[in-house]
């Protein structure tokens, strides 16, 4: 390859060439937190593997000052240094061939601590009354190159030795423990060196510099764990520290490998692009995803903190120790960490029944994957800039769900053993999806690769139609699409069936479009028990597919729900399938409503939570689809939720369960959104008390948002008092969770003038960029205004908005835009279907008026 190489060869390529690879980075950075500039130098030990005159690595947003390569005592400089902006690469051309083997490439550079929450950036916080900058890194997916020139692909693992020069009064953290710290001459600056890391990918390198407090603990095998927060807030890290210690203890057993580094730090960052980032040994979090305060935080926030911590710590093995070979296998990282986080949280908080909540993840994966503009789990990434676009519900939720499906198929023990040998085999290295299947196949003796490829290499999932005649089940699979059309995919589907009891069950693999199954053995006892007979496919919803039953089987399930014979997961699955099938016009709205009615005696959080989300979806639809019936339909939905809501009330009961607290928040919010007058009035009453006395026990964090939204329902341009009171609460709190609660309520006002005010508020300095998206939660009545506002804002603020789209949205934008357009079409199709539902009026009237 050597002689013909030219610098132009490296442009427009999906990946860096492999003729040279980094082994070790000696990185020095000197950030100035007031001017927000930084300078740095990196000495990279490069192994030249095949003859070349070029070194090609990544670099972006940096100015390169000097470059040289030294080998033994000899130093040479490149004859040409070219920064290719579009490809974010630095091409170094030398006069003659580089010697094979190791040389040291040295590069000096400068850059800016940006305000875009990626690369090496600044975050603002208050310290002793002044606003200060902290310096933070966020490198995933392809942003290490914005901090120092490097081979910025997950497959190029190397060791990192990091040294920083920072103001001597600040805390400076990185992946590894400090090895040496010395105050420089005049005492203003200090030089901090960190120990050399094991082999790791660039996207996991991290640095944080600022004023912080911490609390600490130690795991059973002696790993020091610290939680760092803004000064004065460290006690709010107590809960996450506890979850971290327990998760680490659990994972070292589960993966059968000890935690790979000497320490773990977790730190809350005031401006943060995601929820959290799993940097090796230094995990960064948005404040609301790490901090928990018994008095100030809601139960759902507590749960979110636990899940997030468990997720990021799972990555320390799955992702950091064993890393995806390329972004196509991102789902290995994210799907697995998501799935494992539920395993850990279930072990730590069994009373949360977190696996029933896992079905929310499955539901969002299925929702996205029912679009023709979805994508396969394993998706081709042709350019690094496409990587950011696949951090979506397919990689996370569908990924996690198909893992659950596989675990349930192979059995928990077999699955765990195989995972442990996979981790051991690829530790400190990289792996592909196929590598994982190979290990699982070997350990289980099952055809894992064929089975799983049908789920990871093609987009979408099936709906299984089942019909029973005499003692035969007729099964037929078809790709499920929300617009009611049917795609062409076929899957290998591990089916499970239960019949009238969870003890009477069967497993079956559906491999073709259709099949028949003898269920004699299952339904022997049907005779004489006609009334109590039910058959449920997809036991506990472990499979990533939907089921459409024939009328008789559907009726049987409805009775089983009324008689409360089914597991929580099955009850959730039945209503979720029915609601999705209704959107696709495969089930009428009238039968969906009758099915909902069968849930009227349910009281468990996760079941009602799903009933609530289906109800709100229907309520949104009927205003437009059938305005004549929408009042009655909402009456029915209110009736459905009213009795559990009344049992719960607005106040926390002494010693009540975590799940009841979660349910109260959701059910009151739903009743407010459905316009239930007594709930809205009570919310407004409680709010007035809370506004006068922020320490009052009247409106605790869980119910606060329902009250905020209630207040906004009555707010108008001529009486803005509610809006202004909420802003007052926003301005007086320093808690991120509370600020987000207010932002998420403001635009829920039916008055367009207020919606406009609320949207404009999002653009002020008072709202951090990370939080602004929560404010786009506009009331239906305000949508036109929001659109006008966006157009107006794009005119006035064209530069900011262009920057926003250009830097953050471009790669994700095209697919996301197509997905949004598809959703609009799906809604229109659903509306049409509902208008054609001839029995709707009669069914609604029956449901509303029956005792
Ligand atoms: N690796 C991601 C963080 C990330 C997301 C980096 C997008 C770059 C782009 C991290 O492990 C993660 O998945 N975070 C989640 C939280 C988790 C509980 C699902 C997040 O930020 O939402
Ligand atoms: Zn993750």
Could you tell me if the CB of 737 is within 6 A of ligand 1?
no
Q: Which numbered atom of ligand 1 lies nearest the CA of 274? A: 21
Query: Ligand 1 atom 20: the closest Cα is on which residue?
Result: 275
Residue 675: Cβ within 10 Å count = 14
Cα 276 to ligand 2 centroid, rounded to whole Å = 8
Query: Ligand 1 atom 18: the closest Cα is on which residue?
Result: 308
Q: φ, ψ for residue 166 (rounded to 5)?
A: -140, 160
Nearest CA to 542 among 446, 346, 402, 448? 402
Pocket test for ligand 1, best of 138, 143, 275 (most atoms within 8 A of CB): 275
Residues of the chain with pLDDT under 70: 1-3, 524-530, 780, 782-783, 787, 791-813, 851
Q: Is 312 annotated in the active site?
A: yes
Provide the sign of the torsion angle of the four alpha carbons 344, 350, 352, 353, taken in this order: positive
Give the CA angle between residues 196, 197, 200 to the nearest 5°.
145
Q: At what angle do helices 354-369 and 605-625 cross, to 10 degrees?
A: 30
Could you tell me if the CB of 286 is within 6 A of ligand 1?
no
Nearest CA to 836 among 548, 554, 575, 582? 582
Q: 394: which DSSP letter?
A: I
Give the CA angle between residues 17, 19, 21 to the nearest 5°.
90
Are the CB atoms for 609 and 663 separated by under 8 Å? yes
Cα 140 to ligand 1 centroid, rounded to whole Å = 9
Cα 334 to ligand 1 centroid, rounded to whole Å = 8
Q: What are the structure tokens assigned to 566, written together? A: 């089914």
Q: What does DSSP say about strands 282-286 and 263-269: parallel, antiparallel, or unpaired?
A: parallel
Separation of alpha carbons 840 and 837, rounded Å = 6
Are the CB atoms for 722 and 690 separated by under 8 Å? no
Q: At what angle do helices 299-315 and 658-673 cross, to 10 degrees?
A: 120
Cis bond upstream, residue 229 (ω within 30): no
Work out the percent of the chain whose per-residue pLDDT is above 70. 95
Q: What are the structure tokens assigned to 494, written together? A: 């591990």
Could you tell me if the CB of 277 is within 6 A of ligand 1?
yes
Q: Which numbered atom of ligand 1 lies nearest the CA of 275? A: 21
Q: What does DSSP say about strands 207-210 and 130-138: parallel, antiparallel, or unpaired?
A: antiparallel
Could you tell me if the CB of 312 is within 6 A of ligand 1?
yes
Burial of 79 (0-12, 13-18, 19+ CB in 10 A): exposed
The ligand that comes nearest to the alpha carbon of residue 310 is: 1
Are the CB atoms for 160 and 200 separated by under 8 Å? yes
Are the CB atoms for 482 and 371 separated by under 8 Å? yes
Give the start-end residues of each E strand in 310-349.
323-324
Q: 514: which DSSP letter?
A: E
**Three-state secondary structure call for residue 542:** coil
| Alpha-helix residue ranges (DSSP H) falling in 534-567 | 551-562
Are the CB atoms for 702 and 664 separated by under 8 Å? yes
Pocket test for ligand 1, best of 391, 773, 774 (most atoms within 8 A of CB): 391
Cα 273 to ligand 1 centroid, rounded to whole Å = 9
Nearest CA to 549 among 467, 462, 461, 463? 467
Q: Which numbered atom of ligand 1 lies nearest the CA of 388? A: 9
Separation of alpha carbons 392 and 813, rounded Å = 12
Query: Ligand 1 atom 6: the closest Cα is on which residue?
Result: 140
Query: Ligand 1 atom 5: the closest Cα is on which residue?
Result: 274
pTM of the model: 0.96
Could you tell me if the CB of 804 is within 6 A of ligand 1?
no
pLDDT at site 436? 98
pLDDT at site 525? 60
| Alpha-helix residue ranges (DSSP H) falling in 370-398 | 393
Cα 274 to ligand 2 centroid, rounded to whole Å = 10
Q: Which residue in the block uniquely carries the two structure tokens 């070349």?
A: 52
Nearest CA to 537 among 592, 637, 464, 448? 464
Q: Which numbered atom of ligand 1 lies nearest the CA of 140? A: 8
Q: What are the structure tokens assigned to 682, written together? A: 């009570």
Contacts of 529 (CB under 8 A, 6+ apart): 500
Are the CB atoms for 324 and 154 separated by under 8 Å? yes
Residue 628: Cβ within 10 Å count = 10
Q: What does DSSP say about strands 189-194 and 224-229: parallel, antiparallel, or unpaired?
A: unpaired
Catalytic residue among 312, 443, 737, 822: 312
Distance of CA 615 to the CA centre of its chain: 24
Cα 276 to ligand 1 centroid, rounded to whole Å = 5
Could you tell me if the CB of 246 is within 6 A of ligand 1?
no
Residue 512: Cβ within 10 Å count = 10
Cα 277 to ligand 1 centroid, rounded to whole Å = 6
Separation of alpha carbons 734 and 737, rounded Å = 9
pLDDT at site 718? 96
Residues with CB under 5 A from ligand 2 (ion): 334, 337
Helices and strands in the chain, H and E counts: 27, 30
Separation of alpha carbons 594 and 843, rounded Å = 8
Q: Give the HSE-up count for residue 307: Cα atoms under 13 Å, Cβ half-sphere.
A: 19
Q: How many residues does the chain have?
A: 851
Pocket test for ligand 1, best of 119, 240, 277, 740 (most atoms within 8 A of CB): 277
Separation of alpha carbons 617 and 310, rounded Å = 31
Separation of alpha carbons 563 and 577, rounded Å = 20
pLDDT, tens only, 681-722:
999 999 999 999 999 999 999 999 999 999 999 999 999 999
The ligand that comes nearest to the alpha carbon of residue 118 is: 1
Contacts of 169 (CB under 8 A, 6+ apart): 211
Cα 572 to ligand 1 centroid, rounded to whole Å = 26
């Amino acid at each position: 390859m050597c002689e013909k190489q030219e610098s132009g060869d490296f442009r427009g390529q999906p990946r860096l060439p492999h003729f040279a690879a980094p082994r070790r980075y000696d990185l020095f950075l000197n950030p100035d937190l007031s001017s927000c500039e930084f300078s740095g130098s990196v000495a990279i030990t490069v192994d030249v593997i095949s003859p070349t005159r070029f070194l090609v690595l990544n670099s972006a947003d940096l100015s390169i000052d000097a470059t040289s390569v030294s080998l033994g005592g000899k130093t040479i400089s490149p004859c040409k240094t070219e920064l290719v902006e579009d490809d974010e690469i630095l091409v170094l051309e030398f006069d003659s061939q580089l010697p094979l083997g190791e040389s040291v490439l040295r590069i000096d550079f400068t850059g800016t601590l940006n305000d875009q929450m990626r690369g090496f950036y600044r975050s603002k916080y208050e310290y002793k009354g002044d606003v200060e900058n902290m310096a933070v890194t966020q490198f995933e997916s392809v942003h290490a190159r914005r901090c120092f020139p490097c081979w910025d692909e997950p497959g190029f693992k190397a060791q990192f030795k990091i040294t920083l020069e920072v103001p001597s009064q600040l805390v400076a953290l990185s992946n590894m423990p400090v090895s040496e710290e010395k105050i420089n001459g005049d005492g203003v600056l200090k030089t901090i060196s960190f120990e050399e890391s094991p082999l790791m990918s660039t996207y996991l390198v991290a640095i944080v510099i600022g004023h912080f407090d911490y609390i600490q603990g130690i795991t059973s095998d002696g790993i020091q764990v610290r939680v760092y927060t803004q000064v004065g807030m460290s006690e709010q890290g107590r809960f996450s520290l506890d979850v971290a210690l327990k998760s680490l203890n659990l994972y070292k057993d589960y993966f059968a490998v000890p935690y790979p580094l000497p320490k773990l730090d977790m730190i809350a960052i005031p401006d943060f692009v995601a929820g959290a980032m799993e940097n090796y040994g230094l995990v960064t979090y948005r404040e609301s995803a790490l901090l928990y305060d018994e008095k100030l935080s809601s139960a759902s926030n507590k749960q979110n903190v636990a899940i997030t911590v468990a997720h990021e710590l799972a990555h320390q093995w799955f992702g950091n120790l064993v890393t995806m070979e390329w972004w196509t296998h991102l789902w290995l990282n994210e799907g697995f960490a998501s799935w494992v986080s539920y395993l850990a949280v279930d072990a730590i908080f069994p009373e949360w029944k977190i696996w029933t909540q896992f079905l929310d993840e499955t539901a969002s994966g299925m929702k996205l994957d029912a679009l023709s503009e979805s994508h396969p789990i394993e998706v081709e990434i042709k350019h690094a800039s496409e990587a950011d676009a696949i951090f979506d519900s397919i990689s996370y939720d569908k990924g996690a769900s198909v893992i659950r499906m596989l675990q349930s198929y192979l059995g928990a023990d077999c699955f765990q053993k195989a995972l442990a040998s996979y981790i051991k085999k690829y530790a400190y290295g990289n792996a592909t999806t196929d590598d994982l299947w190979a290990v699982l196949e070997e350990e289980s003796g099952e055809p894992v690769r064929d089975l799983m490829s049908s789920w990871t290499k093609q987009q979408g999932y099936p709906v299984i139609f089942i019909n029973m005649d005499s003692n035969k089940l007729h099964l037929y699979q078809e790709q499920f699409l929300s617009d009611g059309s049917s795609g062409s995919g076929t899957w290998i589907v591990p089916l499970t069936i239960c019949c009238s009891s969870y003890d009477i069950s069967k497993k079956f693999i559906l491999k073709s479009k259709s099949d028949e199954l003898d269920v004699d053995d299952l339904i022997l006892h049907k005779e004489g028990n006609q009334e109590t007979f039910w058959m449920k496919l997809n036991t506990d919803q472990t499979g990533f597919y939907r089921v459409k039953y024939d009328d008789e089987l559907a009726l049987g399930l409805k009775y089983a729900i009324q008689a409360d014979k089914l597991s929580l997961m099955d009850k959730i699955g039945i209503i979720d399938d029915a609601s999705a099938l209704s959107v696709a016009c495969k089930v009428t709205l009238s039968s969906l409503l009758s099915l909902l009615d069968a849930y009227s005696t349910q009281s468990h959080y996760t079941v009602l939570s799903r009933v609530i989300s289906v109800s709100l979806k229907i309520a949104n639809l009927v205003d437009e689809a059938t305005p004549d019936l929408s009042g009655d339909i909402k009456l029915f939905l209110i009736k459905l939720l009213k009795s559990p809501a009344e049992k719960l009330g607005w106040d926390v009961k002494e010693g009540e369960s975590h799940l009841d607290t979660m349910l109260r928040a959701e059910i009151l919010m739903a009743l407010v959104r459905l316009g239930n007058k007594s709930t809205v009035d009570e919310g407004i009453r409680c709010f007035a008390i809370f506004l006068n006395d922020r320490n009052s026990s009247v409106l605790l964090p869980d119910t606060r948002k329902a009250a905020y939204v209630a207040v906004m329902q009555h707010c108008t341009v001529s009486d803005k008092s509610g809006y202004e009171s909420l802003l007052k609460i926003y301005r007086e709190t320093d808690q991120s969770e509370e600020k987000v609660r207010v932002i998420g309520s403001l635009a829920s006002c039916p008055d367009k003038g207020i919606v406009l005010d609320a949207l404009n508020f999002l653009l002020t300095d008072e709202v951090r960029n990370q939080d602004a998206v929560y404010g786009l939660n506009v009331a239906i009545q305000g949508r036109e205004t929001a659109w006008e506002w966006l157009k107006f804002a794009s005119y006035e603020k064209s530069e900011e908005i262009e920057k926003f789209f250009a830097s953050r949205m471009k790669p994700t934008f095209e697919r996301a835009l197509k997905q949004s357009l598809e959703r609009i079409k799906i809604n229109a199709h659903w509306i049409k279907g509902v208008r054609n539902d001839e029995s709707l009026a009669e069914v609604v009237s029956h449901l509303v008026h029956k005792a």
